[in-house]
Structure formats: structure tokens, C-alpha cells
Amino acid sequence: MRFYLVPLDDSVSQSLVPPHVVKHLSHKWLIPEPLLNHKDKLNIPLVRLSDLPPDKLEFPSLNTTFQINEEVENMIKGRRLLLDEVIATIPLDVIYDHICNGYIRYQSAINRKPKLTCVRCGNDDPFLFGEISCARCVDKCAYCRACIQMGKVTECSPLLTWHGEESAESRNHPLGWEGELSPAQDKASEALVTHVMSSYLMERKFLIWAVCGAGKTEMLFEAIQSGLAKGDSVLIATPRTDVVLELLPRMVMAFPNTVVRAFHGGVKPEERYAQAELVIATTHQLLRFYDHFPLAIIDEVDAFPFSYDKKLQYAVECARSKQSLTVYVTATPSDELKRRVNSGELAHVKVPRRYHGFDLPVPKRVWVGDWRKKLEKNVLPMKVINWIQRHVNAKKQVFLFVAKISLMATIEEVLKSKLDTVVESVHASDPDRREKVSRFRAGEMNVLVTTTILERGVTIKGVQVGVLGAEDRIFTESALVQIAGRVGRSADEHDGDVIFFHYGNTNAIVRAVRHIEAMNDQT
């Protein structure tokens, strides 16, 4: 959309502008192109927001006598939405009324200076922008490819934000969870609650470094409850849809009187803009929220490679309130987080014990020679076959992690020919992925060959884990620690095998083993 840039210093222009705006502003005012029919009479320039310097945009103060439209408030409050997605349900003149009365402001969704940047997702990679000749702009119009699945960010669809009065009311949010925290969980929960209860006078960060199987969700309950009781909106953000889907029922159960909603790619359009007190969202869905959460919890912040990580960080930075507490929860903090912990810059609590109190199984390293060469002749190292056979005989299930999808079919075939048991394989783009995992969970297969997609989030009682080709670059320290974390998660099956079958030790292998030993040494 383009806007008429109306000067406010003559009576003709002022006649086009509502009195509240004229009263508060002195220079120029923007009127959306479709709302003005006077263009023949007036010689007013048409502009896009991206053509104007951002600091040139001025908005009137709040008119508290203005009758707000509740539908508009419910949609935009706490969010930053494209004008295009708002006018799909709300007429432009209704939005304009709210702008004139100080309740809605707009900003350009794309900045051209100092470099081309998408304001919604933070993308500034020139290769991730496209350009079309746009009928609305009557000009060339840039759009962002990085966040296009959330609706197209263009130069002619500004972003809208809500600026009404804050009405945070504190009310009761009883906890429906009646379990008991382990001593380690309790310590972490208490530390977190203390941080939540201290005032949010400035922006603060806190890290919960909890081993796989520590029971991190339960540790968060009291802190979430404290935030909600203050009237705060609480956010749990995670890069993975799987995690969102797993957390939703647990949070609904834990907070029976609270409005809990999950936002992920599969949410129905009519629920996309609903309000909630406790929000669980993926990175992409988070891009629709703005300046809204005094308490933001980021789960599995390290779950994806760096670029993805950066995107999640940007999304959280935009969605959290200016004065807020951001909590990172992870078993494998990035080097950057560890550096900030060690320098004392980042407040943190470590949870080195699993909730059941037993040690983490320490991975064993087994050298298997040039296994890739063997595999070319459809042979797997005997050490691998024998290890799997032993567990199959003992009625144990086995995950065999491998680095590449291209190797999986051969490995699966060789195992099927050597073992008298049910073997299958799974990878990220496998259409039957969920179904296979649930059959494995139900005990309908014994051996599952998998890529790193199952490195986290999967809890299977009594599972044994092998990594074939642990020397591959894809198996970073954190990937190996997460993989090892699949074993021994339940109290009555707290031990088990983690075997790194390798053709040469790597730093990542050594550091992963040390990482786990160090956690076991702490009490």
C-alpha cells in the first residue's frame, strides 16, 4: 500500500485529517491511498513507508475517549502483523481510525538503509530477498524470502503494532500438577522463581543447564505460575514443532485455569491470532508477536545449527517485553552461552542429576576401522552386528544413529540379512516418520536406524544406543551428548549402553564423553 504524505500546515490538508491528529502533530500525516479520493484536487505525493526514514513517522497520543473495536484489539495486541493479514478480516477504515486515535502504529516491514533488512524476521542476506514489479507500489517492490511462509513481507505491506493501555490484572493460576520435584529440580525451580519474582526493571537472562532426562518441564511450573500470577504473559519458544505438540497437553494439565495456546504451522487460520496467557510457539509463529512477554522461556535453544539459532534469537528479542526475563533451557549450551556462564555474565543454575538420581550412562568408544569401505561391499563391522544381536537376544530395543541418509538403505539391508529381527530406518523427510517412531515406541520393531532427527525429544524406556561413524562432522559434542541422553531415562531402567563406533576419535567424541563424566561428578 502507498500513502498520501499530507502536510498539516494548511487548512485544505487539515480538512482531510481527523481533529485528534491535527491537535497532536504539526508536520505531516500519512493517509492510506485507498481512503482518499481527492488526488485530482491535491498535489500530494504518494509514498511507501520504506521510502521514508523511520524516524520521520509520527503518531498521535492515545485518545482515551475513543471507542476501541475489540476484534481489532484481540487480533493485534501483543503482536506485530502485516497490514495485508489484518485487512483480510478487518476493514482498512477501521484500522485507520485506530491509527488516528493512537491505538495502532505502523512501520515499514522492509528497511532499505543501512542495508536491505526484513523487520519481521531480521533477514539481511541479499540472496534471501526477491524483487517484483508491484501493481500496488507501481514500482519495483522488494520482498523477504526468509519468512515468506508466514505471509509475504513486502515494501508495501507495513507492520502494525498495538499501543493501547496495559491492563495486566493479576489473578489466580492454580497448579494442577501434583508430582514432587527431585532435590536437583527443586533447587533449579527455586532459583528461577527468585529471578521471576524480582522486578523486571531491566532486561535479564538466565540459563538452566540441565542434563537430558533431568525433568526440565516440571522445573518450569512454579516459575511460570509466578509470572502468570503477576499478570504477565508467558512464552515458551522452541525451534521444534514436535516439542510444541508434546508440551501443550502437559501445560494444559498443569495450568487448568489458564488460557494456554500452542502456535505452530498446523494451527487453523481462525486460531492464528487468538490471545493466550501462556503461549507455546515455534520460531516462525513467534514472528507474529511483539513486545509482549515479560517472561520468555527458550527450550532447546541449541537444537539447530547456528543460522537457525540466530533466527530464533531475533524472534525472541522482538516478542519479549522490553523489560523482561529470558530463560534458556538446554542440556548442551552453545560455546557462546558457556563463555558467558564462565565469565559470570550469565546467571545460571546447573542440574547435573536426572530426576531419578542415577548417573548418566557414559559412552564407550569402539574402533571399527574403515566401516564405509566395508559397507561398499555390503558388510558391516562384526562388532556392530554382535552388539546389536546381544541386545536383541536380551529383548532390548536399539537405536543405531548414522550420519547420512544415503547410507541408511544399505545398513538396513545388511542388518536385516544378519539379524533375525524387525529392522527399519527413519529420517527427517521420511513421510512415515511419526508412524515409525510410534511403532518403535509400542515395541513393534527392535532396531531403528536413524539420522540425528531422533537425537532429542524421544524417550523410550530401556533403549540402547549405538552411533555408527561417530567420527562424522555431523556428530558434534552436543549431538553426541543428546544422543547419549536417550539412554537410561526411567528410574527402573536407568542404565544401558551408549556406544560410539568410530574410525578415529574426534574432538567432539572426546568432549562429549568428558561432558557427561563431568556432569556425573557434580552432585
Q: Give residue for cell 493501547.
A: 164
| Contact flag: residue 134 with Zn ion (CB under 5 A) | yes
- Tell me whether residue 72 or residue 110 sits nearer to Zn ion (CB atom): 110
Cα atoms in the 13 Å half-sphere on the side-chain side of 315? 26
Q: Which of 146, 281, 400, 408 binds Zn ion (CB under 5 A)?
A: 146
Angle (CA) 326-332-333 rounded to 5° is 45
- Give yes or no for a contact between 165 and 73, defined as CB atoms under 8 angstroms apart: no
139 pairs with which residues across the strands?
A: 134
Residues 153-212, interacting with Zn ion (CB under 5 A): 153-154, 156
Applying CB under 5 A, the span of 10-18, 148-156, 201-209, 514-522 interacting with Zn ion comes to 148-156
Size of the site for Zn ion (CB under 5 A): 14
Using a 10 angstrom Cβ sphere, with 0-12 exposed, 13-18 middle and 19 or more buried, the burial of residue 422 is middle
Applying CB under 5 A, the span of 63-71, 114-122, 342-350, 367-375 interacting with Zn ion comes to 114-122
For 173, residues 6+ apart whose C-beta sits below 8 A from its C-beta are 225, 228, 229, 255, 257, 258, 277
287 φ/ψ sector (left φ>0, alpha ψ -120 to 50, else beta): alpha
> What's the rounded Cα separation, in Å, for the pair 146 and 127?
10
DSSP code, position 45? P
| Contact flag: residue 296 with Zn ion (CB under 5 A) | no
Applying CB under 5 A, the span of 25-33, 151-159, 321-329, 507-515 interacting with Zn ion comes to 151-159
Q: Which of 1, 110, 147, 281 binds Zn ion (CB under 5 A)?
A: 147
Angle (CA) 271-274-279 rounded to 5° is 105
The binding track of 60-99 with respect to Zn ion, each residue x by CB under 5 A or -, is ----------------------------------------
Copy the grid coordinates of residue 505. Answer: 576419535
Using a 10 angstrom Cβ sphere, with 0-12 exposed, 13-18 middle and 19 or more buried, the burial of residue 386 is exposed
Residue at 522: amino acid letter: Q
- Tell me whether residue 141 or residue 251 sits nearer to Zn ion (CB atom): 141
Beta strands in 231-346 (DSSP E): 234-238, 260-263, 278-282, 293-299, 320-330
| Contact flag: residue 141 with Zn ion (CB under 5 A) | yes
Applying CB under 5 A, the span of 73-81, 113-121, 427-435, 443-451 interacting with Zn ion comes to 113-121
Helices 477-484, 507-521: axis angle to 10 degrees equals 50
The binding track of 430-449 with respect to Zn ion, each residue x by CB under 5 A or -, is --------------------
- Tell me whether residue 287 or residue 437 sits nearer to Zn ion (CB atom): 287
Q: Which of 144, 192, 196, 407 binds Zn ion (CB under 5 A)?
A: 144
Laid out side by side, the sheet with 159-162 consists of 80-82, 159-162, 104-107
Q: Quote the least distance from Cβ 470 to Zn ion, whole Å.
A: 37
Q: Which of 296, 284, 291 is nearest to 318 (CA)?
A: 291
Applying CB under 5 A, the span of 116-124, 307-315, 359-367, 509-517 interacting with Zn ion comes to 116-124
Q: Quote the least distance from Cβ 48 to Zn ion, whole Å.
A: 7
Q: Which of 50, 123, 238, 397 binds Zn ion (CB under 5 A)?
A: 123
- Tell me whether residue 157 or residue 425 sits nearer to Zn ion (CB atom): 157
| Contact flag: residue 121 with Zn ion (CB under 5 A) | yes
Q: Which of 24, 38, 105, 136 binds Zn ion (CB under 5 A)?
A: 136
| Contact flag: residue 392 with Zn ion (CB under 5 A) | no
Q: What is the DSSP pairing of strand 447-450 with strand 464-468? A: unpaired
Applying CB under 5 A, the span of 7-15, 79-87, 119-127, 431-439 interacting with Zn ion comes to 119-127
- Tell me whether residue 48 or residue 240 sits nearer to Zn ion (CB atom): 48
Residue at 238: amino acid letter: T
Query: Which residues contribute to the site for Zn ion (CB under 5 A)?
Result: 118, 120-121, 123, 134, 136-137, 141, 144, 146-147, 153-154, 156
